[in-house]
Structures are given as structure tokens and as C-alpha cells.
Amino acid sequence: MQQSNRLRPFFENITFDRDDNELILNFGPQHPSAHGQLRLMLHLQQEQITKAHPDIGYLHRGMEKMAENMIYNEFMPTTDRMDYIASSSNNYGFALAVERLIGLEVPRRAKVIRMMLLETNRLMSHLFWLATTALDIGAMTVFLFAFREREYLMDLIEDYCGARLTHAAVRIGGVPLDLPDNFIADLKKFLDKLPENIKDYEDLLDTNRIWKMRMENVGVISKEMALSWGCSGIMLRASGVEWDIRKEEPYELYDEVEFNVPVSDKGDNYARYKLYMAEMRESAKILYQVLDMYEGTGPELMAHAPQYISAPKIDIMTQNYSLMQHFVLVTQGMRPPVGEVYAATESPKGELGFYINSQGGAYPYRLKLRAPSFWHTGILTDLLPGHYIPDVVSIIGTTNIVFGEVDR
């Protein structure tokens, strides 16, 4: 019997005394294509998987517990660390939940800026997905191309909020900053070139024999399975369910912009890949429209709700009562009304939900983070059996899981 709790060689990949030819393989937690800290316990017959147990928790930081011990504004930067590929969408999800709880109306300019942030984040996330998945499959060129484009977007976000990865670019009640001078022109320049870039990726991949062999008819998720496993976002749409929260339960200005929701009924890796590409084009379309909306909005960036949101800086510096309220809001935090809310948004990965139970205190009584990747990891239990080891890599790739979000 091996002693597992001492620092000495431990052969956990091999079970020695079995005669049924079954091999148990630990895929991860330190595997370059496991997209973070995923450990998969795979039962193998030859190269074929008979059973899969995803083991998660290696990145568990207890964000829900932390939220119970923080004031609402304090928690905002923590949400960055969930889906760190597109952190503004987490910030926004949380801000939206608290705003719905309080019943705040956000100024139009803040909405426009939020839309820009959300869609640039979607583009960043999809580009990152394409890059890493292609790299896992072996397409190094696509990785370099996609990262080049993503770099421009990160520079843009840096121009806006100063951070490249953990943006914290949204506040409860609005956004902290107005757009910098060249933001719109720069973003337009990027968007003008994006269709060419996407075409480059597609030229490299669409008819690529290796890509198609690794992607087509691999990891097929049926509609029933996707619904039952709580899939959302592209995982759901690739399986033939037309459900995009931006379209069905519009938030911010999504009801004012024109865009399509690409759907496929194949359910395999290739369908998901096609949807990612199509969604990038749709995001660009949305961004063009939002850029035009920016002109003609008023200067306000934060909602006016002195009980919950600090007054503008000019008021704080000139008016005594605003300063007092600001002091209380910073030191004690806002106290939303007693009640509960579940707010779902369409993050690049799927349905990102924040459930908040407030008891009227400065700290949430309970905050549940509904991260899409959690179930997209869970579905591997049912999805992987029957596939071969190389398919595991491409399936994990197209599920687009991010472990900051799975483990929270």
C-alpha cells in the first residue's frame, strides 16, 4: 500500500494489480492543455475512455465566503479573478445584480461605455479561446495571429482603465471614467481590420484537414444533454437551442442594437468553433453601432443615488453633505434593501449569474456566483466516455472553461 501523505514518489497514474486491462490516467492538474487546474481521472480501455471524473477545486479561493465579509464595492475587484480572460463582464454581472437589487437607473453614457467594454471583452475572450484551442490542436500560427489582435484590444482596455487583465472597469451605478481621447478612433481602426483577421484564421482552419479531423463529430452534445447539464452560451447554441440572454432578456442597450444570434444544430467541436467565429463578427457589428451611440449622450457617468453611490468628485470637494455621505459609503459601505436578486448576463463563456441575498447590511448575507464554466466542466463526465485521449484535448478546448470561474 502506498503512503499518500508523505513527500515520496507516489505512482498514482498506475494501478498495478488489475487484470481487466483498465488503465487509470490522471490528466492534469498540471497539464498545458487542461486550461488551468483541471484534473481528469480517466478510465481507459486501450486509448478509449470508459469513465471520466473531472476533479476541480485546485483554484478554489472561496470567493463566496469572501463576499460575505466584504462591502459591496470591495468585492468588485475580486470578481475580476473569476473569468480573468474577460474580467469586465464579471464586473458588469455583479454591478447589474446590485443595481437591480437597489433599483438604480444607470446614465446613458455609462451604458454605452459598458456595452463597449462588454463587447471588447467578448472579442478578447473569443480570440484567446481561438488562440489556445488552436495551439492545443497544434496550429501555432493561429495562436500568434489571434494573440496579436488580442494585444491591440488589451492596449485599448489599458488606455481606458489602466489594467490589461483585471480591469475592475465597472462600478455599481455606472463606470468610473469617461473614454480617453483616441479610444473611439482606435477601436474603429481595429474593427475595420477585424474581418480580414477573422478571414485569415478561417483560411487557416476551416478546411484544414487536421483541424477538421480533430473537430468534426467529436464531442457531440445533444440538445437534451446541453439543457440538462445547465449549459449556456455557445455550448448551448451549438446544440441547437437559440438562447442568448442579450437577445431574450436584454440588459443595457442590447435591445437597441441589431445583431444576430448564430445557432448550429450539430453540437460538435466544429460547430462550436464556427459559432465563436460568427460571434466575433456579431460583436464587431454591435461595437460599430455602440460607437455611434456615444455621441449625443450626457456627461453623467454614475447614477444619482446619494444613499448608495458617492456624489461626483466636484460635489464631494465643494459640498459638506456630499463629503459626509462619501465618507460613510467608503468606510461603512452601501446598505442595499432587504431582498434577493438573481441577475443573469451573457458573458463570453455563457450565463453568468449573481445571486445576492441582502439583509439590509453592508455585507451581502449570501452571494452565489453562477459561473457557466462550472457546468461546462461537469458535462465532461458524460461527454468524454467513448472518446479517445487526443479528443480530450480538443473537447476541453471547445468547452472554453476557465478555472478562475469553475473553482471561484
Partner 1 sequence: MRAYTPKDDVQKKPYYTDRYWVAPQVAKHDVSEDAVFAADLEAVKAKFDVLDAYIQVDQMVVMIKAEDNFGVIELLKNERDYTQLSEMSAIDWLASEEKFEVFYQMLSMSKRKRLRIKCKINEKESIQSVEKLFRSADWSEREMYDMFGIVINNHPYMRRILMPDDWEGFPLRKTYPLQGDEFAQWYEVDKIFGKEARDIIGPEIRDSARVDRYDTERFARLGHEVPFGADISNGEPDTPLVYQETEGVFMIEKFDAEKSVVISDRDR
Specify the stretch interacting with partner 1 by CB under 8 A; choose among 97-105, 162-170, 281-289, 385-393: 97-105
* Sole residue written with cell 459559432: 275
Q: Which residue type occupies 390?
A: P
357 binds partner 1 (CB under 8 A): yes
**For partner 1, which residue of 13, 141, 222, 228 counts as binding (CB under 8 A)?**
228
| Residue 37 beta carbon to partner 1: minimum distance, rounded to whole angstroms | 12
**For partner 1, which residue of 64, 206, 300, 315 counts as binding (CB under 8 A)?**
64
200 binds partner 1 (CB under 8 A): no
Determine contact, residues 197/220, Cβ cutoff 8 Å: no
CA distance 287 to 293: 10
For residue 226 the three cell numbers come to 446541453
CA torsion 82-83-89-92 (nearest 10°) is 0
Please work out the total of residues on this chain that contact partner 1, with binding judged by CB under 8 A.
65
6 binds partner 1 (CB under 8 A): yes
CA distance 353 to 231: 13
Nearer of residues 289 and 359 to partner 1, judged by Cβ = 359
Q: Give the distance from CA 16 to its chain's centroid.
A: 41
Distances (CA, A) of 138 to 142, 239, 402: 9, 26, 20
Nearer of residues 83 and 136 to partner 1, judged by Cβ = 83
Nearer of residues 362 and 389 to partner 1, judged by Cβ = 362
Distances (CA, A) of 76 to 63, 132, 160, 342: 11, 27, 17, 17
| Residue 370 beta carbon to partner 1: minimum distance, rounded to whole angstroms | 4
| Residue 127 beta carbon to partner 1: minimum distance, rounded to whole angstroms | 14
CA distance 108 to 293: 9
Determine contact, residues 369/402, Cβ cutoff 8 Å: no
Specify the stretch interacting with partner 1 by CB under 8 A; choose among 24-32, 108-116, 268-276, 374-382: 374-382
152 binds partner 1 (CB under 8 A): yes
Contact track, partner 1, 316-355, x by CB under 8 A: ----------------xx-x-xxxxxxxx------x-x-x
368 binds partner 1 (CB under 8 A): yes
Give the distance between the most distant pair of CA atoms in the chain: 81
227 binds partner 1 (CB under 8 A): yes
Closest-CA residue to 71 (of 403, 351, 310, 388)? 310
7 binds partner 1 (CB under 8 A): yes
**For partner 1, which residue of 32, 180, 360, 390 counts as binding (CB under 8 A)?**
360
Cα dihedral sign, 68-74-79-81? negative
Q: Strand pairing of 366-370 and 22-27?
A: unpaired
Question: Phi and psi at residue 174, in whole multiples of 5°?
Answer: 155, -145
**For partner 1, which residue of 25, 163, 179, 241 counts as binding (CB under 8 A)?**
241
Count of all residues that appear for the chain in the document: 408
Residues in the site for partner 1, rule: CB under 8 A?
5-7, 56-57, 60, 62, 64-66, 68-70, 100-101, 103, 152, 155, 186, 189-190, 192-193, 225, 227-230, 232, 241, 243, 248-249, 332-333, 335, 337-344, 351, 353, 355, 357-363, 365-366, 368, 370, 374-375, 378-379, 381-382, 407
